[in-house]
Amino acid sequence: MAALASKEAGNAAFGKKEYSTAAAAYASGLKELSASGSYSDLEGGDRELAATLLSNRAASLLGMEKYNEACEDCSASLELDNKRVKSLYRRAQAYEALDKLSEAFKDLKLAIHIDPKNKPAIVAARRVKDALAAQIQDQSPVAQTVRELTADDTLADRRIALLKSLIGTTVDDVGSSLEVLRRQGLPVLWEITKATNSETEAHLAIRCMASMASHVPVADALIAELSLAEIVGLVEGYPALAVGAVGLLLRLLTKCSKPQAVAAGGGEADGTLSTGELEAAEVGRCDVAIDAWAAAMASSEAEVRDAALDAVVNWCSEEAPKWATPVPEEDARRLPMSERKAVQEAEARWKAVIGVRASRVCQSVEVAMAMFNLLDSESSSERQKALAAFGRVAAAIPDPEMVQTLLEPILSASPGTGGDLSFMRRKAALASAMFLAHQEVGVFVLGRSTAVQELVMLISSGDDIGTAAAAETLCLAASNEQGRALLAPVIESGTLDALLDSPNARARSAAASAIAKLGVASKALDTNSSDTDRLLNTAMLLLKGAEDVEQQEGKKLDAAAAAEDQANSARVTTERAVEVIAALITKSAVKDEIAHGSGRCTQALPRLCAACKDGRSAVAYGLAHIFASLTVTNKDVQRRQLAEKEMDITPEQLEELQRITKQKNDDDEEEDTPQRVAFRTQKIVQNDGIRALVRLADGASESTQLQVAMALRQIAVEVPVRGSMVQHGAFRVCSDLASSPKASVKCVREAAWCLGKILVTTNPNVLTEAQRLDAIPPLMRLLKDHHADELMHFEALLGLTNLASVDDATKNRITSEKGGVRALEYLQFSDHELVRRAATECMTNLLPHPKVVEHLRDPEKIKLWVGFSEDYEADFPTARAAAGALAMAVGLDDEELTETLVNKSACIRAFVGLLSCGHPELVHRAGVGITYLADIPHAVTKLKKEGAVPALKKLVKAAKKDPTKWAAVQGVVAGALEAVEAAKEADPSEVIVEVDDAGDFDISEGK
């Protein structure tokens, strides 16, 4: 055959690499098969030969580097035989040569799928895959950005735009940051940083490196490639570059991985780092950091100094990295006690590292004195930052005596520039910082020979900054027993009282807080004292002043510094005003005055509600505590405290004991009553207090969360406000708190209880499905909480009963909770009648859910329900619920349940007995159950044996005589009688199960 001969000739030429001759021979063979060049009509051997010739010619064209024509021949060959591996492989070769890597990879994957052992295809696939990945990366935004930054013809505006884009790309993406390194982008960024021709580009370049360094593997690479000393040198550059250098250095020092000196070896047997190794590895880093912070704080530019203060705070409060702790904190909580010890030891090791950093800050004369001098900065913001930095550094040193030793040189220094007044201001601010960090150190600073006298001098000087600093120190000292002892000269001289009339709002607020703390500590304040009058009025004025400043925000002010000082002053005065009110809030009369106002005090609630911004603010706990106190009586507070301490004494007995021992004055205010609480609660709601509490829950601490949950639960006591609580977000907040793993046990309990209270009277259909379903898990957990009291269980059960009536989704959620049905059954055995009743009603509302049906199939479980239904004289509501559940159960199409009810329980006897109870509601349920039973032959026999027919006839007659009483059940009774009389009894030969009076089974043959 001519075509076959052409193939042989082509193969011979191809073997000699005479590709053009081979291609011509294959073409001749193809022409022999089809002169028209169309091969689709060929069949059998001719079709296969054509596919081979086309594939072979493609191989020749590849040798001739005619890749497009080779692709065409391979495609034509595959149309004739789509599983021809050689055609796929050769087309992939052509695609690869044409740089169509994606198409080449697809052909190679298919070829390997057809022939998994084809080694050339496997090798080619690996090669193409790598090339394809490189091609994709080469076209990535990061690669293009680095190329443009290195190009000489890129304009300045374009370079700035590229750097901004790179910052946004790398800050949250470790992959992009690593790609910058792979593309040799780090040298590019470093060169731009050191260049002097564009400050903007240099600043953006160092910011970009700082954003990259937020990822641990990138930080390691930067430390290896960059000179930390050169970065420190940049701190002395122009402000923007200096700020960027401080930020980059902080990232490198805090984001790098395990210290390399330790990573190479050493440590404990399990790889854990010892305290000594961690401290040793930190020493070198500390030297670099101290040099940088010192240079930055010596800058004449405020923004550079601010960056250094922020860096010190962050450096001395860094959370332990993953390599320093065995397990994350959230996992440690679930560990057994034996394993928690390792976690605690790891935490101690890391605290030692932070202590090394803080100690080096204090030991550095340049850094410590720079921070000390900034305590008297002209900028209020800078003073506050320096105060926070000192406090953080001191708090990071675990040993108070070490802090005292480190502070001695600072306190003993000469006044220097600024004179005695400036020096006294700085020492007063330092004392405040120490009281916040270590109260023992604060007492040490204030207890020095002339410290208290210097505070008096500052106050007498009339200097606003000095007066405010001194008053703040007095306020903090009043919180500590030893600190209060040092304040005698200030109190005796009348200096503290005089501050209440100071024109300086911050001084007034601090003085008011100090007096309130001293009065509460000494129990010298009573409701009608003049001090209480002054403190309340001062607090109200401070709140109003802070509110006025906040209302000015956004308006154009003459100086930015003045605006900043006013904002700081408003924040501090609000904090102190809240402290004063929180200290006085235990007085019942004060509670009423705060809520309603009085002749001596304006209404504070609107301002307190306005002060509730979020749970992160410094006043969040105080505000939440105030609301929690306003919404409860003092007796209830005492009762809760006694219960928590498990003391077997009532509030009344405790009060009498206090009077006898003279711990309580006879002229104390009259008893706080629930009626007064109700009035205060109404005022809170009217002043948008619910939304205020919702805001306080956002980002709140554990203690603030508890106070918010308590306040909301206490507000929910008032039924009329529960709808507002749903509308204003309180229901959602309680669901979140009750489900939060970070909330305390008490907070979870209070929040879940609040949900139960709201649901008792709220139509569940007004809630969204998500709200209904989210409320169920907290309520179920409350039911299983053995520390919850009976009232909590009762209201949680009522709430669940309400939810269970809505739809199958809520029933499914309740029963799907772990141990859900079991928990409800357990509460049916409660000693408290109301809890038993609520649990029974909740189970009834869950019918006909399969899990409840499964529960009722157990004859032992049914005994309880039958017993409840028969105990109507002692507990009618529970009997009504149990009888209703039994009637519903009989009507269900469940053979096993029916068998239990008819043959393994006293259910029939109970129904018949209820017919003569005299209660229409119970008779109605019994009648419905008997009607269902009439369809079961065995049940009919037992009904007649128990006397159901005479009892029903008697009721029919009674209904005729007294239609008013029995009108609602007349139809049911008549229907039941008709159904039983018309029903067919069981075959006597069948087995009948009798249940005696004790509920035991007696099985005998039918007669």
| Secondary structure string (H, E, C) spanning 595-614 | HHCECCECCCHHHHHHHCCC
Within 858-906, residue ranges assigned H as helices are 859-870, 876-890, 895-903
d(CA 320, CA 55): 64
DSSP label at residue 556: -
DSSP run (H or E) holding 995? strand 992-995
Q: Taking residues 175-184, report their average pLDDT.
A: 87
d(CA 789, CA 573): 41
Residue with tokens 């073409």, as numbered in its chain: 27
Q: Is the pLDDT of residue 903 over 90?
A: no
Q: Is the pLDDT of residue 328 over 80?
A: no
Q: What Å distances lie between residue 797 and 782, 828, 842, 923, CA to CA?
A: 9, 11, 7, 26
Phi, psi values for residue 441, rounded to 5°:
-70, -35
Higher pLDDT, 175 or 754: 754
Closest CA to 471 of 563, 545, 540, 569: 569
pLDDT at residue number 753 = 95
**Omega prior to 259 cis, within 30 of 0:** no
Higher pLDDT, 547 or 122: 122
| Contact (CB, 8 A) for 244 and 207 | yes
| Cα angle for residues 517, 519, 525 (degrees, 5° grid) | 135
d(CA 680, CA 592): 7
pLDDT tier at 666 (50, 70, 90 boundaries)? very low
CA 115 distance to own-chain centroid: 53
| Contact (CB, 8 A) for 752 and 758 | no
| Contact (CB, 8 A) for 92 and 77 | no
Q: Taking residues 682-698, report their average pLDDT.
A: 94
d(CA 921, CA 914): 10
Lowest mean pLDDT among 526-530, 589-593, 616-620: 526-530
d(CA 74, CA 53): 10
| Contact (CB, 8 A) for 61 and 69 | yes
Residue with tokens 């205060």, as numbered in its chain: 680
d(CA 180, CA 168): 13
Lowest mean pLDDT among 215-219, 258-262, 848-852: 258-262
| Contact (CB, 8 A) for 11 and 44 | no
Q: How many CB atoms neighbour CB 156 within 10 A?
A: 11
d(CA 395, CA 384): 16
114-146, pLDDT tens digit by residue? Answer: 999 999 999 999 998 888 877 666 667 888 888
Q: Is the pLDDT of residue 242 over 90?
A: yes
Separate counts of helices (H) and strands (E) for the chain: 58, 2
d(CA 708, CA 901): 49
**Average pLDDT across the chain, whole number:** 84
Q: Taking residues 708-729, report their average pLDDT.
A: 94
Residue with tokens 């590019």, as numbered in its chain: 188
d(CA 948, CA 139): 89
pLDDT at residue number 566 = 58
Lowest mean pLDDT among 142-146, 206-210, 674-678, 807-811: 142-146
Q: What percent of the chain has pLDDT over 90?
A: 44
Closest CA to 571 of 381, 726, 701, 716: 381
Higher pLDDT, 838 or 607: 838
924-935, pLDDT tens digit by residue? Answer: 999 999 999 988
Q: Taking residues 428-443, report their average pLDDT.
A: 91
d(CA 613, CA 611): 6
Q: Which amino acid is at 501?
A: D
Token output for 708:
């918010």
pLDDT at residue number 327 = 56
Lowest mean pLDDT among 154-158, 634-638, 812-816, 865-869: 634-638
952-992, pLDDT tens digit by residue? Answer: 999 988 888 888 888 888 899 899 989 988 876 655 544 44
Within 256-399, residue ranges assigned H as helices are 260-263, 275-297, 302-315, 329-332, 337-363, 365-374, 380-396
- Enter the pTM of the model: 0.67
Q: Taking residues 363-384, report their average pLDDT.
A: 90
pLDDT at residue number 227 = 86
Q: Is the pLDDT of residue 293 over 60?
A: yes
Q: Is the pLDDT of residue 553 over 80?
A: no
pLDDT at residue number 669 = 44
pLDDT at residue number 195 = 82
pLDDT at residue number 440 = 92
Residue with tokens 């301490």, as numbered in its chain: 645
pLDDT tier at 340 (50, 70, 90 boundaries)? low
Closest CA to 669 of 533, 522, 530, 526: 526
Q: Is the pLDDT of residue 646 over 70?
A: no
pLDDT at residue number 574 = 81
Phi, psi values for residue 988, rounded to 5°:
-60, -20
pLDDT at residue number 92 = 93
Lowest mean pLDDT among 45-54, 442-451, 931-940, 978-987: 978-987
The SS3 call for residue 81 is coil
Residue with tokens 């809170």, as numbered in its chain: 684
d(CA 132, CA 92): 13
> Which pairs from 684-689 meet CB under 8 Å and 24+ separation?
684/595, 684/605, 684/609, 684/627, 684/630, 684/631, 684/715, 685/715, 685/721, 685/724, 687/605, 687/606, 687/609, 688/609, 688/728, 689/605, 689/609, 689/627, 689/715
pLDDT at residue number 668 = 45
d(CA 182, CA 173): 15
pLDDT at residue number 9 = 92
d(CA 798, CA 790): 12
pLDDT at residue number 113 = 93
Give me the helix-helix angle, 451-461 and 419-437, nearest 10°: 120
Q: Taking residues 825-834, report their average pLDDT.
A: 91
| Contact (CB, 8 A) for 340 and 332 | yes
| Residues in contact with 159: Cβ distance below 8 Å, sequence separation at least 6, in sequence order | 148, 149, 192, 198, 201
Lowest mean pLDDT among 338-342, 561-565, 966-970: 561-565
55-111, pLDDT tens digit by residue? Answer: 999 999 999 989 999 999 999 999 999 999 999 999 999 998 888 888 999 999 999
Q: Taking residues 413-435, report their average pLDDT.
A: 84
Q: Taking residues 351-373, report their average pLDDT.
A: 90
Torsion angle of alpha carbons 149, 153, 159, 161, nearest 10°?
-120
448-464, pLDDT tens digit by residue? Answer: 888 899 999 999 888 88
d(CA 10, CA 384): 90
pLDDT at residue number 271 = 47
CA 682 distance to own-chain centroid: 31
DSSP label at residue 668: P
SS (H, E, C) 903-943: HCCCHHHHHHHHCCCCCHHHHHHHHHHHHHHCCCHHHHHHH
CA 981 distance to own-chain centroid: 65
pLDDT at residue number 993 = 46
Q: How many CB atoms neighbour CB 669 within 10 A?
A: 16
pLDDT at residue number 25 = 93
CA 633 distance to own-chain centroid: 32
b (16+ CB within 10 A) / e for 858-887: ebebbbebbebbbebeebebbbbbbbbbbb
Lowest mean pLDDT among 38-52, 309-323, 564-578: 564-578
Q: Which amino acid is at 809?
A: A
